[in-house]
Amino acid sequence: MSDEQESPRVEAPSEDVAPVSADSALPGEHRGGFHRPMTEPVPITESTHVVDVQWAPVAAPLPRSAAWALTFAILGLIVSFLVGWGFLIGLVGAGLAIVALRRPWESRGAAIWALCLSLLSVLYSAGWLWWASTQGPLFG
């Protein structure tokens, strides 16, 4: 090695770097050098806001019509197998099923089944009444 080798040169720090004081015991402790947006320290405050929590009253139960529609649909279908005048029960079931389909909290599956069975009972009753009307004179 030669004696003429240069020693490394260290440049002076830039203006952004604050000199380390003796009271800075921990590395990374804020020394007040950076006060620019996005790099300045965020002040930490203690929250003193107290919220008074009260229980909400229990909501009234929502009206249910899908189960009733299914009950009327099944009953209307059974009656329409025996008598032609069971279509009235089927119409009640269809009306309740339509109401249940329009409510978002109702069971859609039960309402669709009720509507289908109600319409089937109305059709079966109509067929029963048509067949009964062809079997004899209606008015004397």
Report pLDDT digits (tens) over 53-112. Answer: 777 788 877 888 999 999 999 999 999 988 888 889 999 999 999 999 998 888 899 999
Q: What is the C-alpha separation between 107 and 65, in angstroms, rounded? A: 9
Give backbone dihedrals phi and psi of 19, rounded to 5 degrees, phi first.
Answer: -70, 150
Q: What is the C-alpha separation between 120 and 110, in angstroms, rounded? A: 15
In sequence order, which residues have a C-beta less than 8 Å from that of residue 116 and are 6 or more positions away?
73
Please report whether residue 53 resides in a domain. Answer: no
Please report whether residue 83 resides in a domain. Answer: yes
Please report whether residue 1 resides in a domain. Answer: no
Please report whether residue 10 resides in a domain. Answer: no
The pLDDT tens digits for 9-53 are: 888 777 777 666 666 556 665 555 555 666 666 666 666 677 777
Q: What is the C-alpha separation between 91 and 113, in angstroms, rounded? A: 14
The answer to whether the predicted template modeling score (pTM) of the entire model surpasses 0.75 is no
Q: What is the C-alpha separation between 131 and 128, in angstroms, rounded? A: 5
Structural domain span for residue 95: 66-126
Structural domains in the chain (count):
1
The pLDDT tens digits for 109-132 are: 999 999 999 999 999 999 988 888
